[in-house]
């Protein structure tokens, strides 16, 4: 933005930085607290008065990995990557079409897409279960990949469409005049320009899939056992295994954190790019 | 442990390594299962059970069955709510993925009325399948008889005898200073509550504010006389129902299954319930089975009524700083009504899915689980547990336990434990009635209103007819 | 990347040279449409079918016309759940929206170390909702929660109840948790939107000597409207369906004070196994949403040029 470009870095930047850091510290405190629970012995977990210092233990990690947690991590990763990739492949052209072209009943088609996200999933999971039981899709990667389309495809198409609208139409026109094919225009002009939007939106889709519980639980099973599904097992009738819960909860954050960290230069286009553009 | 297709070989290798030392010796008394299992060797059965340390111990024994019979068992453990959701979805949809599914006593009514449980009678009558050494007379009688049978048919053996006990802080109840003060105030000796009235007095006595003294030391935070489950759902209502209302001589239904909630006994029990809530931590209405053990384990409250299998997980060194300082007792009875005491329990069975394709192999597995030998092993390996057989009380792990009062309390509860009535609308009834339990407990509704409204809900839900399935 | 448009894009600008090919856009949307028909429409039609049947325990029995709907519409618990969800949504979403927008504008200043701060700030949204529920249980549970004990109890706030156990407070506590969880989502989406805005209009405004407030209302806000509308609408729909956190923290209690349609539907499905009625609830919620979204879409399209 203009302000960011025009003003030299200085005390104002520092001021805002401080604000953001203070805000982050307050908001993230609960997460920090949960992180400490990963290595906290059980008898210090909720001790009164609160124990800030304790001898760390690795027991919780041991239990969680004995339970095959790392396989859930892998399953989640494969499942979410595949389903997000599928969303990007089939959703990007649709978002582009809705932003660029006139179609008959376009508004209705566009709302139909959003419609798939409207009904509470808890009401749909039994119809899904009954259908999947008949066609043999229960506890398969394909089954869950398809089920995740219901909430992610609509999200992706709707959000990406607003990114598509911001693209300058002249580039596509120029390419068309040079005789490029539609596929070429899409691949060489639209796709690169949309890259930031695609990355930002698909990261959000990945996170939705990563954290999804209900479908993963009811439609999954021993073969397809995702991370969120392994959490309720720690809530036993002898109380919650809090330390183990913290381990699963926090380790589940790490891959997403890494993904966001690596991809953020696309999400946050950054000043350098803005300067070039300006 | 989960099995992934891509790591199948690794898992198999690991399982074999784990199993080998345990199963090296197949002895003579296993010969029945080895013989009976022959026609089904190579079959795979899938079993769904609830995850608690009891089942985690059992999972170490299950491979022995595979070794003895050649029948492969996929043993899946899920948490309480998941077992219900997934198990019922599997049975009701007729999918038949699981051959055997653990059902809590409360689920039996709905599942029987849906007709999705396979009766066992033809297997029991089959000499090839029926273990002659089963000795059903050894099962703790009332829970077994009220749970496993319906309309003269048998639907399971008994698998899990979950039960409630009284749970208190021994270090406080035996503190000389507190004992003297208690005696001065109430005129009798402080000790584990025998009656509900004593439990009330103790709750009142130990409810203290920050800064007041407890056992001679100033409190750094508020302390409470009692903690109970109070969340909507869970076992909030069954606690109120069996441990209070039934001990007061009231009940949910009459002998014919008709709603019978608007009675003086129920009102009296609700009054006590309300009073006890005033001595409980402020969060009681959000407390579930997650919170009660946490609160007791952290030393915030003096006493509780709780599931005895909770205790096995909390009262051990390294888990709670108060481990070893607890004492257990039978569920306190209503003073004057000790002869007709009641204790909340939920005997549960593993049943055969009506859609199962391997009922015979599954039946063998269920028999094997309930057999004396495996039960003994389970209790020895778990260093205790919740017995389903009378003979288990004499096992060293229980008899010589570090925690004798717990097992005495458990036995006392199981002596009077019975299954839940088999009601088709059980879940609806519990959901609505636990709302009443909350509102009365919070003081938003008087006990009289609670009894009236509860009765109205029961009449409406059961359509003015009997709430139980016709026998 | 030198070509930037000065004005906000018009409603539809089809590139010259692609206009005559009427069938092209249909090919582009076909895969998505087919996919959604299969994975979304088919189960939904099945749900409609179930909603007209007595489907207790997942066994489809008699065709009973609108009986499930009638039962539901005459059940005060259903209307209560709609009221609870409406309160939840109309408080939580506007706050998330405003905080998210403010946060995005702040981040868009010369904040240093954004590459670290952005992922960190985003953490609440990255967590599984079920973990978020347990996390706030750890913080706010009566008596043993970290915050309950170290703050509320120490300063004698709420001595006779706890936030999740109080019929008056529980819903607002859940709203707070939702705001904590989803404000970062709004913030990041809006921030990405700000970063994607063309710079031309800002340069022009700088030449004209416009002040930051004018720049915000005349340039930033109009150009951001499409994204704000889409994200706001999606969050609105999602917030109405909120489930995991409530399920963990109160399961609809105390009484029915936090029972949203999703919590009620969960009980109908997994406790009462009244699949017919749960399906009727799904259909009703869907119809209400579809009507709302259609109106919102048309209004936002005409008045704000948002779609």
The single residue listed with the structure tokens 């909340």 is B344
C36: nearest CB among A13, A116, A125: A116
Whether the pLDDT of residue B8 is over 70: the answer is no
In CATH terms, the fold of domain B163-343+421-461 is: D-Maltodextrin-Binding Protein; domain 2 (3.40.190)
* Residue, of B105 and B29, whose pLDDT is higher: B105
CA nearest neighbour of C274 among C101, C54, C3, C12? C54
Tell me whether residue C22 is in a domain.
Answer: no
A24: nearest CB among C33, C110, C117: C117
In DSSP notation, C58-107 reads T----B-TTHHHHHHHT-HHHHHHHHHHHHHHHHHHHHHHHHHHHHHHHH
CB pair distance less than 8 Å for A225 and B2: yes
Kindly state whether B221 is in contact with chain C, defined as any CB-CB distance less than 8 angstroms.
yes
pLDDT lower than 50: segments of chain A: 1-8, 270-278
Please, are residues B192 and B173 in contact by the beta-carbon 8 Å criterion? yes
Q: Give CA–CA dist C143/C139, Å, rounded.
A: 10
Summarize the confidence of residues B200-208 as an average pLDDT: 97
Q: Give CA–CA dist B190/B350, Å, rounded.
A: 42
Q: Which residues contact B25 (CB under 8 A, 6 or more apart)?
A: none
The rounded Cα C55 to chain-centroid distance in angstroms is 30
CB pair distance less than 8 Å for A236 and B313: yes
Distance from CA of A129 to the nearest CA of B (A): 8
- Whether the ipTM is more than 0.90: the answer is no
Q: How confident is the model at residue B471 (pLDDT cuts 50, 70, 90)?
A: low
3-state secondary structure of B70: coil
Cα dihedral B394, B397, B402, B403 in deg (nearest 10): -60
**Distance (Å) of CA A113 to CA A18, A110, C30, C288, C307:** 42, 5, 12, 16, 14
The residue of chain B with its CA nearest to that of C162 is B283
Whether the pLDDT of residue B256 is over 50: the answer is yes
Q: Which 8-state DSSP code applies to residue C39?
A: I
User: Using one digit for the tens of pLDDT, what is the confidence trace for B15-67?
Assistant: 444 444 444 344 445 589 999 999 999 999 999 999 887 888 898 999 999 99
User: What is the pLDDT tens value at each position of chain C, 307 positions in all?
Assistant: 333 333 334 445 666 666 666 788 898 899 999 999 988 899 999 999 989 988 776 667 788 888 889 989 998 899 999 999 999 999 999 999 999 999 999 988 878 888 888 889 999 999 999 999 999 998 988 778 888 888 887 787 777 778 888 888 999 999 999 999 999 999 988 888 888 777 788 888 888 888 888 888 888 888 888 889 989 999 999 999 999 899 888 888 788 889 999 999 998 888 888 888 999 999 999 999 899 999 999 998 888 777 7
Tell me whether residue C243 is in a domain.
Answer: yes
Preferred mutation among C10, C131, C288 to probe A, highest tally of A CBs within 10 A: C131
Preferred mutation among C2, C151, C192, C216 to probe A, highest tally of A CBs within 10 A: C192
Kindly state whether B428 is in contact with chain C, defined as any CB-CB distance less than 8 angstroms.
yes
Q: Which 8-state DSSP code applies to residue B331?
A: P
**Distance (Å) of CA B237 to CA A118, B49, B427, C103:** 35, 24, 11, 46
Distance from CA of B283 to the nearest CA of C (A): 4
CB pair distance less than 8 Å for C125 and A274: no
DSSP H helical segments within B187-285, as ranges? 196-206, 236-238, 264-277
Q: Which residues contact B139 (CB under 8 A, 6 or more apart)?
A: B157, B158, B370, B388, B389, B390
Amino acid B352: pLDDT? 96
- The phi, psi pair for C68, rounded to 5°, reads -60, -40
Q: How confident is the model at residue B3 (pLDDT cuts 50, 70, 90)?
A: very low
Tell me whether residue C282 is in a domain.
Answer: yes
Same fold, B5-156+346-416 and B163-343+421-461: yes
Q: Which 8-state DSSP code applies to residue B218?
A: E
The residue of chain B with its CA nearest to that of C160 is B282
**Distance (Å) of CA C222 to CA A267, B205, B468, C234:** 21, 66, 64, 19
User: Using one digit for the tens of pLDDT, what is the confidence trace for A229-264?
Assistant: 888 888 776 667 889 999 999 988 998 888 888 887
- Residues from chain A that touch C307, judged by Cβ atoms under 8 A, are 110
Structural tokens at position B93: 């949809």
Structural tokens at position B304: 């509780």
Preferred mutation among C142, C161, C258 to probe B, highest tally of B CBs within 10 A: C142
B309: nearest CB among A222, A225, A238: A238
**How big is the CA angle at B256 (ends B255 and B258), to the nearest 5 degrees?**
105
Q: Which residues contact A57 (CB under 8 A, 6 or more apart)?
A: A39, A40, A41, A243
C225 lies in which domain range? 77-271+278-304
Q: Which residues contact C75 (CB under 8 A, 6 or more apart)?
A: none
User: Using one digit for the tens of pLDDT, what is the confidence trace for B240-251?
Assistant: 999 999 999 999
Cα dihedral C290, C296, C301, C304 in deg (nearest 10): -160
Whether the pLDDT of residue B174 is over 80: the answer is yes
The single residue listed with the structure tokens 């939007």 is A197
Q: Give CA–CA dist C3/C20, Å, rounded.
A: 25
The ranges assigned to domains in chain B are 5-156+346-416, 163-343+421-461
User: Chains A and C: how many Cβ contacts under 8 Å?
Assistant: 373
The residue of chain A with its CA nearest to that of C269 is A123
Amino acid C12: pLDDT? 59
Query: Structural domain tally of chain C?
Result: 1
Work out whether strand B44-50 and strand B100-103 pair parallel, antiparallel, or are unpaired.
Answer: parallel
Please, are residues B197 and B191 in contact by the beta-carbon 8 Å criterion? no
Tell me whether residue C82 is in a domain.
Answer: yes
The ranges assigned to domains in chain A are 70-230
Number of CB atoms found within 10 A of residue A178's CB: 10
The rounded Cα B437 to chain-centroid distance in angstroms is 20
Kindly state whether B328 is in contact with chain C, defined as any CB-CB distance less than 8 angstroms.
no
Q: Give CA–CA dist B200/B69, Å, rounded.
A: 54
Residue C211 belongs to domain with CATH number = 1.10.3720.10
Instruction: Give the CA radius of gyration of chain B.
Output: 23
Distance from CA of C143 to the nearest CA of B (A): 6
CB pair distance less than 8 Å for C144 and B231: no
Number of CB atoms found within 10 A of residue B206's CB: 24
Preferred mutation among C146, C151, C250, C253 to probe B, highest tally of B CBs within 10 A: C253
Amino acid A92: pLDDT? 94
User: Using one digit for the tens of pLDDT, what is the confidence trace for C63-120?
Assistant: 888 888 998 999 889 999 999 999 999 999 999 999 999 999 998 887 888 888 888 9
* Residue, of B271 and C10, whose pLDDT is higher: B271
The residue of chain A with its CA nearest to that of C179 is A27
Distance from CA of A71 to the nearest CA of B (A): 8
**How big is the CA angle at B463 (ends B460 and B465), to the nearest 5 degrees?**
120
List, as ranges, residues 33-72 from A with C-beta within 8 Å of C. Answer: 33-34, 37, 46, 48, 50
Please, are residues A116 and C40 in contact by the beta-carbon 8 Å criterion? yes
Tallying the residues shown for chain A, one arrives at 278
Kindly state whether B237 is in contact with chain C, defined as any CB-CB distance less than 8 angstroms.
no
* Check whether domain A70-230 has CATH 3.40.50.200, yes or no: no
B282: nearest CB among C162, C255, C256: C162
Q: How confident is the model at residue B155 (pLDDT cuts 50, 70, 90)?
A: very high
CB pair distance less than 8 Å for A126 and B86: no
CA nearest neighbour of C280 among C132, C65, C77, C123? C65
Preferred mutation among B285, B295, B432, B436 to probe C, highest tally of C CBs within 10 A: B285
Superfamily assignment of B5-156+346-416 in CATH? Periplasmic binding protein-like II (3.40.190.10)
Distance from CA of C263 to the nearest CA of B (A): 12
Q: Which 8-state DSSP code applies to residue B393?
A: G
Tell me whether residue C191 is in a domain.
Answer: yes
CB pair distance less than 8 Å for B313 and A133: no
Tell me whether residue C106 is in a domain.
Answer: yes
Amino acid A277: pLDDT? 36
Amino acid B294: pLDDT? 82
- The phi, psi pair for A246, rounded to 5°, reads -60, -40
CB pair distance less than 8 Å for B2 and A68: yes
**Distance (Å) of CA C195 to CA B384, B420, C5, C98:** 63, 62, 16, 18
CB pair distance less than 8 Å for B52 and A47: no
- Residues from chain C that touch B298, judged by Cβ atoms under 8 A, are 144
CB pair distance less than 8 Å for C110 and A4: yes
Distance from CA of A65 to the nearest CA of C (A): 18
What chains are in contact with A, requiring at least 3 Cβ pairs below 8 Å?
A: B, C
Q: Give CA–CA dist B422/B246, Å, rounded.
A: 17
């Amino acid at each position: 933005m203009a302000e960011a470009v025009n003003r030299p870095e200085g005390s104002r930047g520092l001021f805002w930085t401080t604000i953001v850091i203070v805000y982050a510290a307050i908001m993230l405190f609960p997460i920090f607290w949960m992180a400490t629970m990963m290595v906290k012995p059980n008898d210090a977990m909720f001790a009164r008065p609160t124990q800030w210092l304790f001898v760390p233990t690795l027991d919780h990690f041991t239990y969680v990995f004995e339970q095959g947690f790392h396989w859930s991590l892998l399953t989640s990763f494969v499942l979410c990557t595949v389903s997000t990739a599928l969303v990007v492949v089939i959703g990007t052209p649709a978002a582009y079409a809705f932003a660029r072209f006139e179609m008959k009943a376009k508004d209705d088609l566009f709302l139909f897409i959003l419609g798939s996200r409207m009904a509470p999933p808890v009401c749909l999971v039994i119809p899904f279960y009954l259908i999947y039981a008949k066609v043999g899709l229960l506890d398969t990667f394909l089954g869950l990949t398809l089920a995740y389309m219901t909430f992610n495809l609509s999200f992706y198409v709707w959000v990406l469409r607003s990114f598509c609208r911001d693209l300058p139409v002249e580039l596509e026109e120029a390419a068309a005049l040079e005789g490029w094919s539609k596929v070429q225009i899409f691949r060489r002009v639209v796709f690169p320009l949309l890259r930031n939007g695609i990355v930002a939106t698909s990261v959000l889709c990945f996170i939705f899939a990563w954290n999804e519980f209900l479908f993963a639980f009811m439609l999954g099973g021993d073969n397809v056992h995702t991370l969120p599904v392994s959490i309720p097992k720690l809530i036993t009738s002898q109380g919650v295994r809090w330390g183990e819960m913290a381990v699963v909860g926090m380790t589940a954050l790490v891959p997403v954190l890494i993904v966001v960290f690596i991809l953020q230069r696309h999400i946050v286009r950054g000043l350098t790019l803005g300067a070039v553009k300006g | 442990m989960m099995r992934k297709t891509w790591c199948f070989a690794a898992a198999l290798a690991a399982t074999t390594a784990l199993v080998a030392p345990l199963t090296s010796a197949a002895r003579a008394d296993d010969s029945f299962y080895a013989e009976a299992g022959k026609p089904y060797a190579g079959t795979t059965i899938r079993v769904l059970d609830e995850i608690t340390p009891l089942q985690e111990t059992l999972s170490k024994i299950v491979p022995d069955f595979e070794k003895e019979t050649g029948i492969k068992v996929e043993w899946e453990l899920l948490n309480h709510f998941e077992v219900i959701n997934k198990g019922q979805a599997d049975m009701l949809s007729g999918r038949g993925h699981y051959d055997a599914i653990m059902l809590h006593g409360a689920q039996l009514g709905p599942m029987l009325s849906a007709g999705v449980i396979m009766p066992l009678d033809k297997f029991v009558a089959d000499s090839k399948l029926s273990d002659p050494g089963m000795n059903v007379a050894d099962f703790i009688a009332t829970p077994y008889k009220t749970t496993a049978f319906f309309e003269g048919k048998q639907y399971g053996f008994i698998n899990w005898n979950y039960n409630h006990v009284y749970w208190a802080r021994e270090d406080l109840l035996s503190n000389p200073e507190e004992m003297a003060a208690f005696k001065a105030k109430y005129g009798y000796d402080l000790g584990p509550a025998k009656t509900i009235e004593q439990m009330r007095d103790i709750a009142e006595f130990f409810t203290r504010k920050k800064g007041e003294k407890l056992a001679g030391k100033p409190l750094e935070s508020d302390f409470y006389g009692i903690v109970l489950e109070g969340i909507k759902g869970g076992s909030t209502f069954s606690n109120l129902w069996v441990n209070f209302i039934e001990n007061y001589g009231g009940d949910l239904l009459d002998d014919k299954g008709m709603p019978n909630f608007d009675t003086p006994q129920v009102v009296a029990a609700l009054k006590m319930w309300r009073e006890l809530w005033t001595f409980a931590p402020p969060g009681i209405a959000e407390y579930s089975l997650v919170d009660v053990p946490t609160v007791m384990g952290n030393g915030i409250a003096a006493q509780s009524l709780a599931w005895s299998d909770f205790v096995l997980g909390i009262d051990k060194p390294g888990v709670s700083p108060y481990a070893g300082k607890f004492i257990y007792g039978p569920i306190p009875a209503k003073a004057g009504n000790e002869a007709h005491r009641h204790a909340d329990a939920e005997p549960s069975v593993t049943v055969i899915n009506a859609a199962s394709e391997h009922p015979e192999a599954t039946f063998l597995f269920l028999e094997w689980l309930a057999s004396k030998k495996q039960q003994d092993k389970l209790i020895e390996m778990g260093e205790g547990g919740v017995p389903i057989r009378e003979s288990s009380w004499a096992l060293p792990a229980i008899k010589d336990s570090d925690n004798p009062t717990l097992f005495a309390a458990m036995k006392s509860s199981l002596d009077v434990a019975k299954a839940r009535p088999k009601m088709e609308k059980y879940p609806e009834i519990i959901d609505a009635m636990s709302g009443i339990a909350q509102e009365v407990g919070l003081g938003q509704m008087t006990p009289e209103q609670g009894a009236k409204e509860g009765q109205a809900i029961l009449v409406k839900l059961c359509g003015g007819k009997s709430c139980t399935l016709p026998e | 990347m030198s070509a930037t448009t000065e004005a906000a894009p018009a409603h539809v600008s089809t590139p010259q040279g692609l206009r005559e090919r009427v069938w092209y856009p249909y090919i582009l949307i076909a895969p998505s449409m087919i996919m959604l028909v299969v994975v979304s429409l088919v189960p939904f039609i099945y749900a409609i079918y179930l909603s007209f049947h007595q489907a207790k325990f997942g066994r489809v029995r008699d065709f009973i016309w609108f009986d499930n709907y009638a039962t539901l519409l005459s059940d005060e618990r259903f209307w209560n759940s709609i009221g609870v969800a409406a309160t939840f949504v109309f408080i939580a979403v506007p706050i998330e929206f405003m905080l998210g927008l403010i946060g995005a504008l702040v981040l868009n200043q010369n904040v240093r170390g954004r590459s670290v701060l952005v992922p960190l700030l985003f953490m609440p949204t990255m967590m599984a909702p079920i973990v978020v529920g347990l996390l706030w249980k750890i913080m706010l549970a009566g008596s043993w929660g970290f915050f309950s004990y170290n703050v509320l109890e120490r300063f004698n706030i709420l001595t006779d109840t706890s936030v999740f156990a109080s019929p008056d407070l529980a819903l607002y506590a859940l709203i707070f948790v939702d705001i904590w969880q989803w404000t970062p989502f709004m913030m990041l989406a809006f921030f990405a939107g700000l970063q994607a805005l063309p710079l031309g209009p800002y340069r022009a405004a700088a030449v004209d000597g416009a002040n930051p407030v004018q720049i915000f209302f005349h340039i930033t806000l109009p150009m951001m409207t499409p994204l704000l509308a889409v994200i706001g609408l999606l969050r609105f729909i999602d917030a109405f369906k909120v489930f995991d956190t409530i399920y963990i923290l109160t399961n609809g209690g105390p009484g029915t004070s936090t029972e949203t349609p999703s919590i009620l539907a969960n009980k109908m499905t997994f406790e009462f196994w009244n699949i017919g009625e749960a399906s009727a609830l799904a259909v009703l919620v869907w119809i209400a949403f579809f009507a709302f979204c259609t109106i919102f879409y048309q209004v936002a399209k005409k008045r704000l040029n948002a779609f």
